[in-house]
Amino acid sequence: MYKKSVILLVLFLGLSEIIFAINSKIVDGSQNSVLSLATQNDEDSQISISNFDDPIIFAALPSFDQQIQTSIKTADARPEIIRQYLYKYGSPLEPYSDLIVKLSDQYNFDYRWLVAIAQQESGLCLHIPENSYNCWGWGIYGDKVTRFDSFEDALRRIAPQFTTIFLKGNHSKDPLEVMKTYTPPSDGSWAEGVSTFFDNLD
């Protein structure tokens, strides 16, 4: 019995040493792996840190002023061009700058026509028959005067007539051609004036 106990004790101690040795190797291997990773990470960090010596290029954000300028450029500038032009001459058409562009687009003609003809015919509505709101000499023959309820009413009623009667085909870009039907008696001064006002609005 005693002999058997000694043998079991020797086997137990031997197996314990073997198991302990195996565990030690596993732990050492894991630590080495961790150390390797840590070393590698440290090296990567050192590489990254060493790059601070290299020049760094930053992309600057656009300034607020640049953003505003870009917005203005991309927006439709025509109403503001007309508004400033009408304001310069003290024209009562100034509040209708947006409507002038809108009607021109709707009826497919150059936005400058309504302004240029109004300037040629009435100095931009400063010289018109009383209470007529007729800035374009539309339907005015001697004592006969076509009257409108307001400047807006006049614009809305005249714009479709422009594109139907005068501003089509070659007429759409040539004041001389438009003059032949708009005001045939003119000696050419009408077309010359309209052309000048076109250039001023460009």
Quick: pLDDT tens for 93-128: 999 999 999 999 999 899 999 999 999 999 999 999
> Any idea what DSSP says for residue 62?
P
48 and 97 housed in the same domain: no
Q: What is the pLDDT of residue 167?
A: 81
User: Is the same domain home to 38 and 89?
Assistant: no
Measured CA to CA, the distance from residue 77 to residue 16 in angstroms comes to 91
Same domain flag for 45 and 133: no
Q: How many structural domains is the chain composed of?
A: 2
pLDDT tens-digit series, residues 144-159: 999 999 999 999 999 9
Range of the domain at 123: 77-201
Q: Which of 163, 161, 101, 92 is nearest to 123 (CA)?
A: 92
Q: Which residues of the chain have pLDDT under 70?
A: 1-75, 169-171
The whole-angstrom distance between residue 116's C-alpha and the CA centroid of its chain comes to 28
Residue from 198, 175, 200, 199 nearest 188 by CA: 175
41, 81: one domain: no
The per-residue DSSP string of 107-157 comes to TTS-THHHHHHHHHHHTTTTS--TT----S-TT-BTTB----SSHHHHHHH
Amino acid identity of residue 158, one-letter, is: I
Q: Can you give the pLDDT at residue 152?
A: 98
- The predicted pLDDT at position 178 comes to 87
Same domain, 114 and 82: yes
Q: Residue 70: inside a domain, yes or no?
A: no
Residue 23: the pLDDT is 53
Q: What is the pLDDT of residue 17?
A: 67
**pTM attached to this predicted model:** 0.61
Q: Is 159 helix (H, G, I), strand (E, B) or coil?
A: helix
pLDDT of residue 1: 55
User: 98, 86 in Cβ contact below 8 A?
Assistant: no
Say if residue 42 is in the same domain as residue 85. Answer: no
